[in-house]
Structure 1
Amino acid sequence: MADEGRDRMIALFWITFAAIVYSLAGYGLIWIALAAVWPRRATHPERPFAATMLIAARNEAADIGAKVRSVLDQETGAHDLQVLIVSDGSDDGTEDAALVAAAGDPRVEVLSTGGHVGKAGALNIGLGRIPPDRIVIFSDANSTLVPGAVRALLRPFADPGVGGAIGQLDIPDRGGLLDRAERLFWRYDNALKIAEDRIGGTVSAQGTLYAVRRALVRPVPADMADDLVTSLGAVDSGYRLAFAPGAVAREAVSSGAKQEMGRRIRSTERGWRGLMQFARLMNPARTGLYAWQLVSHKFARRMVAFLLPVLLILSTLLANSGPIYAAILIAQLCVYGVALLSATTSVRLPGASVATLFTLGHLAIAIAILRWSVGVRSTKWSPVREG
């Protein structure tokens, strides 16, 4: 009986281990390898589009000027680009800073919500002023665009089957604890987006820079991640999301573990709620290969947060059953130990940034999904910026 129980435990251990490895690395490596031999999509000549960049801002006076200048400095060719900034009850002079940076440029319009209505409320106010025949470019107020970003982002729309285009995030290395690990993660994620784009379409948007045809944009729910639900809405309407690697936006991340933890909890809770809203897209009978991508990239990757403690418990119970179990247990304890030491002290051991991002990231995911499960809803935002 004891041997039977141990055999079941070993089977559960390897199932858990395989699920974690697949979600974190296996899926990406398989998809990148598949993309190398997958037929390339047909290219379409560049076409001019009418586009409006919609920026929701809450107390962004320190960053909005650089944002506006980086947009107005874009070489847009034949594209008609307008900029609409909606200040969500800012009380730090955000509107004035935006107008100063615009220097009277007629392409820029600045609105105020009057009160604090939340990011979704600000976006919905802005969307109400954009005609259905335009393309809406969404971009965070605290990011800046590299030259050529707008043209690169609009280029995929020459394909009538494309409903949205996703830009690339570039994180400057400021020497913070999490900066280096974030840069490594986004480098891998960008490679995965290129592969997904070639096979089934990019999975979803990241809020720093993306664009969607206005006719496909639905009202943004206050308690869901706007970038996720807006991009998934385009897929739900039968369109594909394209990745535009030349559309680069630069945005710094929080260097502090506490700030990053809070941000990830809120964004994951809202993102998970949005994913559940569009759970039908994970049905391969409806969306084909895209369903596998969505399950692997969004659903399974978040389930890792709950599989990791299971693996830790099982490897502890099986540590005396063979060197492989002991080695995996020691590896886990080293990662979590380095992360705890780095997050609570000034000691920086080798691999500290990766271990900290890995541990805090999955802890934040677990907390966020548990918050979602008990009905917690984050609807307002107060962006935290480092000086």
Structure 2
Amino acid sequence: MAEFIFWLCLLLPFYAWLGYPLLLTVAGPFFAQHKPGPLPALQVSVVVAAHNEERHIEDKLRNLLAQDAHLCTMQIIIASDGSSDRTVELARRFDDPRILVLDLPRQGKNSVLNAAVEHCTGDIVVFTDADVHWLDGTLQALLAPFADPDVGGTVGNMIIPVAGKGLSVGESLYRHYEAWLRRVETRTGCTVSADGALQALRRELYQPIPARVNDDFYINTCAPVAGKRVVYVDQAKVLDHGVDEAERQFSRRQRVTVGGLISLAARRELLNPLRHGLYAIALISHKVIRRLAPVLLLPLLLANLWLLNDHGFYRLSLAAQLLGYAIAVAGLLDVHHRLPKPFRLAAFVLVTLAGMSVGLWQFLRGHSYNQWNPDQTR
């Protein structure tokens, strides 16, 4: 029994984090590649949910207004979620008919997004955050796949161009990993994740976002529910800032895990492979097994201790686990960042896995996060 537990707890995380994307990489060439034709003229609505974003809102609006998408007419909606600073005032200073500012009471990001979409006039709705920067050509690249009528949504590529000295080193590498995973997922027609910093959806496919779910995941699943594809666009790049502090990384991963599991429960019909085929398998692999994998690390360690005298392999595997934990703890304790980057990378992995484990426990206890505060992730 101990041996079964050991190999189960070892192989499931390996499959979730590495085996699954490698299988998609091998399978990708066997899928037909879609080449959309020319993009017709579109009306596009860009929605920015903002809570106390006076530091970023002016730069964000300049950034959006500078986007040159020749074949689209743009509407920009700034939806303030009960901001108590100058977010609304600064946004309304822009004398541009394309900009609509909604000064809404504090009600949570999901409700604010629902209210904003009601004012959207575009064929395509683009969702983005106030504190991220779009590179030139991002909007045009994000819209290009919509020339294919089978495409219901697109997601962009969020990168951290300059990692900090703390855990953002690991976060930056994680962004590259996620970009690779989304590339292989989109080749097989099963892109299952998105960042709220940059995603787009056909307006007619939008479904109001329930309370407590992760807004980016729920929006991203509106297209598959309607039988449409979601395409990852590597060329649509948005720049973000990493989070160096361990407590903020832990808190964010905790909240994302809770919201993600609630979101999966809300979209549980997509987990049926008989109805949704490869997309359901991708969703189970990417969103279910990955979130369950961290809780397998403790039984993996205990089973390894039980098997210690059975074979030399188990002594090596125990040494590898203990060494990994030691490096991660050393990286966390290295507040002056004197140790090499691998220590901070290991610390990021440990904090991420711990946050996911606590998030799973909170989900099982019925806990949720109803209010959204951007400062929690900065």
The alignment covers a number of residue pairs equal to: 376
Give 1:129's aligned residue.
119
1:291 pairs with 2:284: no
Aligned-residue RMSD, C-alpha: 1.7
Residues 74 and 363 of structure 1: is their aligned pair in 2 closer, same or farther, counting only changes over 3 Å? same
Give the C-alpha shift of residue 328 in structure 1: 1.5
> Which of 172, 177, 184 is 2:166 aligned to?
177
- Matched ranges for 1:70-89 at <5 A: 70-89=63-82
Name the stretch that deviates more: 72-81 or 350-359. 350-359
- Matched ranges for 1:56-67 at <5 A: 56-67=49-60
Which amino acid in the other structure matches residue 211 of structure 1? Answer: A
> Which of 6, 28, 39 is 1:46 aligned to?
39
Give 1:13's aligned residue.
6
Give 1:5's aligned residue.
none
Which whole-Å deviations, capped at 9, do the CAs of 1:14-48 have from their partners, x for residues lacking one?
A: 22211121111111112112214433224322222
1:372 pairs with 2:363: yes
| Distance in structure 1 (CA, Å) of the matches to 2:130 and 2:347 | 27
Which whole-Å deviations, capped at 9, do the CAs of 1:137-156 have from their partners, x for residues lacking one?
A: 00011111000011111111
| Distance in structure 2 (CA, Å) of the matches to 1:357 and 1:287 | 34
Give the C-alpha shift of residue 315 in structure 1: 1.2
Give 2:267's aligned residue.
278
| Distance in structure 1 (CA, Å) of the matches to 2:48 and 2:377 | 20
Give 1:22's aligned residue.
15
Residues 16 and 386 of structure 1: is their aligned pair in 2 closer, same or farther, counting only changes over 3 Å? closer
Give 1:3's aligned residue.
none
Question: TM-score, normalised to structure 2's length?
Answer: 0.95
1:361 pairs with 2:352: yes
Give the C-alpha shift of residue 55 in structure 1: 0.5
> Which of 61, 68, 73 is 1:68 aligned to?
61
Question: TM-score, normalised to structure 1's length?
Answer: 0.93
Which amino acid in the other structure matches residue 52 of structure 1? Answer: S
Which whole-Å deviations, capped at 9, do the CAs of 1:138-195 have from their partners, x for residues lacking one?
A: 0011111000011111111111111110111011323232222122112121122111
Give the C-alpha shift of residue 231 in structure 1: 1.2
Give 2:131's aligned residue.
142
The answer to whether the Cα contact below 8 Å between 1:259 and 1:384 also exists between their aligned partners in 2 is no
Give 1:382's aligned residue.
373
Give 1:314's aligned residue.
303
Which amino acid in the other structure matches residue 232 of structure 1? Answer: T
Which amino acid in the other structure matches residue 16 of structure 2? Answer: S
Which amino acid in the other structure matches residue 330 of structure 2? Answer: L
The answer to whether the Cα contact below 8 Å between 1:172 and 1:179 also exists between their aligned partners in 2 is no
- Matched ranges for 1:257-272 at <5 A: 257-272=246-261
> Which of 222, 239, 253 is 1:250 aligned to?
239
Give 2:184's aligned residue.
195
Q: Which runs of 5+ in 1 are unaligned?
A: 1-7
> Which of 328, 343, 347 is 1:339 aligned to?
328
Residues 385 and 269 of structure 1: is their aligned pair in 2 closer, same or farther, counting only changes over 3 Å? closer
Which whole-Å deviations, capped at 9, do the CAs of 1:267-321 have from their partners, x for residues lacking one?
A: 2211110012112212111111111111111111111111111111111222222
Q: Which runs of 5+ in 2 are unaligned?
A: none
| Distance in structure 2 (CA, Å) of the matches to 1:79 and 1:110 | 21
Which amino acid in the other structure matches residue 118 of structure 1? Answer: G
| Distance in structure 2 (CA, Å) of the matches to 1:222 and 1:286 | 26
> Which of 94, 99, 122 is 2:87 aligned to?
94
Which amino acid in the other structure matches residue 219 of structure 1? Answer: P
Name the stretch that deviates more: 193-202 or 340-349. 340-349
| Distance in structure 1 (CA, Å) of the matches to 2:268 and 2:344 | 33
| Distance in structure 2 (CA, Å) of the matches to 1:233 and 1:261 | 29
- Matched ranges for 1:158-237 at <5 A: 158-237=147-226
The answer to whether the Cα contact below 8 Å between 1:200 and 1:293 also exists between their aligned partners in 2 is no
Which amino acid in the other structure matches residue 139 of structure 1? Answer: T
Give 1:157's aligned residue.
146
Which whole-Å deviations, capped at 9, do the CAs of 1:104-146 have from their partners, x for residues lacking one?
A: 1221111111x31111121111012124x62110001111100
| Distance in structure 2 (CA, Å) of the matches to 1:151 and 1:236 | 25
| Distance in structure 2 (CA, Å) of the matches to 1:229 and 1:25 | 25
Which amino acid in the other structure matches residue 274 of structure 1? Answer: S
Which amino acid in the other structure matches residue 251 of structure 2? Answer: G
Give the C-alpha shift of residue 237 in structure 1: 1.4
| Distance in structure 2 (CA, Å) of the matches to 1:263 and 1:385 | 7
| Distance in structure 2 (CA, Å) of the matches to 1:386 and 1:128 | 28
* Secondary structure in structure 1 of the residue aligned to 2:309: helix
| Distance in structure 1 (CA, Å) of the matches to 2:307 and 2:253 | 33
Give the C-alpha shift of residue 349 in structure 1: 4.6
The answer to whether the Cα contact below 8 Å between 1:218 and 1:233 also exists between their aligned partners in 2 is yes
| Distance in structure 2 (CA, Å) of the matches to 1:92 and 1:48 | 37
| Distance in structure 2 (CA, Å) of the matches to 1:44 and 1:386 | 39
Which amino acid in the other structure matches residue 188 of structure 1? Answer: Y
* Secondary structure in structure 2 of the residue aligned to 1:112: strand
| Distance in structure 1 (CA, Å) of the matches to 2:262 and 2:130 | 24
Give 2:108's aligned residue.
118
